[in-house]
Amino acid sequence: MDILDLTGIDLSKEAPECEPERQFYFIAKARELLHEKEREAGRKLTFCVTTFGCQMNARDSEKLTGILEQIGYVEEENEEKADFVVFNTCTVRENANQRVYGRLGQLKRIKKKNPHMLIALCGCMMQEPEVVEKLKQSYRFVDLIFGTHNIFKFAELTVVCLESGRMVIDIWKDTDKIVENLPSERKFPFKSGVNIMFGCNNFCSYCIVPYVRGRERSRTPEAIIAEIEKLVADGVVEVMLLGQNVNSYGKTLDTPITFAQLLKRIEQIEGLQRIRFMTSHPKDLSDELIEVMAHSKKICRHLHLPVQSGSSRILQKMNRRYTKEQYLALVEKLKIAIPDISLTTDIIVGFPGETEEDFADTLDIVRKVRFDSAFTFIYSKRTGTPAAVMKEQVPEETVKKRFDRLLTEVQEIAKEVCSIHKGTVQTVLVESVNEQDPSLMTGRLSNNLLVHFPASSSVIGQLKEVKLTECKGFYYIGELV
Ligand code: 5AD
Ligand code: SF4
């Protein structure tokens, strides 16, 4: 396949110049092209969007899905049966990249049999020049490659792809543009992610995110509130405010506003019942935010507060800008202000130079905080980050052993912490039918724990009072009150 590199090129003179109008023009155009393809195929054509990685990507995938549905593609769950496959990729750890290459390999075989098939790749991994080079060399059957900064251009790029029949590539290095009001199709009718900011300025030394998601940009409070009001009018009762570091929200706006002030304004939205947010950086978590959380009726009793390591020495090498003692003091303050708060975290094992003593500090902080749950990761070297060139990379064997020890500790504590709610009655948002047993519904507590209880599926999307009768380790069995 020929390659069409669009970086910096204006595609169509007739199309409106301003966004999102321009994308609506291309959605209409893509619809016409799709009709032609459907006539050739003698059937409707389908799409499948597969998401790798975090909640931010999940939200982006809802936007891609919204655009594909507006064009007229029909959703198909099995990517091997779909005519338009989109991989929204993640590159935070090397194994995320490997999974994408693996899945692409399988699709190559299938694409040979389906002449209508298109394959698009987007997301964080595409912001790495080595990845795009590798795709150009060895994955020539891919039709469209774009990145994190121009996801709003998906309709336009789809048109070029359909018209040219060539491999289309459009990667932007960075952007200060935020395009509002594009279509999006929610996975759940009753809850939704809402981006409040994009990018990250922290440059933790192990992390690739600031390089692939660019500099921090906040949406205006007006745009965020208008979006949430629209969602609520459409049946949403819970929102998850999304940003790499929500605590620094609003600092770069023309009229600066703090994250706590934004929360207060969102709390006023009538009909909205629950507010969640992620992720919080410990260095920026203000007293004002703790105060607002403590007094709020809508903000959930859950805080995801990545600690990454318990060793102040390693934290400094990670460029996290807090010490073990400062993190512990913050946790103390949170627990006093909000006694029923659930704390979850991310921990990296095997950061360059991590000694047995440093690791002991990580175990120690885990025992002191007693996290409700923790995501544990083996350090993954990301080319281009400062940590990748640090000496003293820890041998794989040592890391693996430490990882297993940490996981055991984290799980034992989480089980104990989870069990303290036994016998209480809690408000849950009923989210789905239980996968194993369709007579049970699955609901989420304010503190993010799940409970399974007998009920009919008519209660999905509602807030219900549920008694937690039995603790099963990391989740509960309950009954409607
Ligand atoms: N290696 C391992 N884990 C990482 N994370 C980010 N970068 C890396 C890396 N290079 C983890 C951090 C972060 C979470 C989203 O992913 O713990 O909080
Ligand atoms: Fe990565 Fe640190 Fe930014 Fe989180 S805060 S995205 S870990 S650089």
Residue 58 pLDDT greater than 90, yes or no? yes
Which whole number is the average pLDDT over 28-44? Answer: 95
DSSP percent split of the chain into helix, strand, coil, nearest 5: 40, 20, 40
Assigned token pair, 159: 């048109």
Q: 96 C-alpha vs ligand 1 centroid, how far in Å?
A: 11
**What is the per-residue pLDDT for 15?**
87
Task: Please name the residue whose Cα sits nearest to atom 16 of ligand 1.
Answer: 92
**Any atom of ligand 1 within 6 Å of the Cβ of 207:** yes
E strand or H helix that includes residue 464: strand 463-471
As given in the structure block, the two tokens for residue 206 are: 């192990």
Q: What is the pLDDT of residue 247?
A: 95
The pLDDT, as a whole number, for residue 180 is 83
Question: Is 202 touching ligand 2 by the criterion CB < 6 Å?
Answer: yes
Q: Place 13 in a pLDDT band, splitting at 50, 70 and 90.
A: low
* Closest protein CA for atom 18 of ligand 1: 346
Q: How far is the CA of 127 from the centre of ligand 1 (A)?
A: 17
Select from 149, 128, 121, 116 the least CA-distant residue to 43: 116
Token pair belonging to 61: 């995938």
Nearest to 426 by CA among 399, 447, 408: 447
What DSSP state is assigned to residue 148? S
Q: Is the pLDDT of residue 435 over 80?
A: yes
Between the alpha carbon of residue 429 and those of residues 42, 62, 188, 233, 476, the distances in Å are 43, 21, 12, 18, 14
Instruction: Tell me the whole-structure pTM to 2 decimals.
Output: 0.93
What pLDDT score was predicted for residue 179?
86
Element (H, E) at 23: helix 21-41
The mean pLDDT value for 360-386 works out to 97
Distance 452 CA to ligand 2 centre (A): 34
- Give 252-296 pLDDT, tens digit per residue: 899 999 999 999 999 999 999 999 999 999 999 999 999 999 999
Q: What count of residues does the chain have?
A: 481
Tell me how far apart the alpha carbons of residues 260 and 265 are, in angstroms, rounded to a whole number: 9
For residue 383, the ligand closest to its alpha carbon is: 1
Using a 6 Å cutoff on CB, does residue 90 contact ligand 1?
Answer: no
- On whether 48 is known to bind a ligand per the annotation, the reply is no
199 CA distance to ligand 2 middle (Å): 9
Q: Is 122 annotated as a binding residue?
A: no
Contact 124, 88 (CB under 8 A): no
pLDDT one-digit tens code per residue, 172-188? 998 888 888 888 999 99
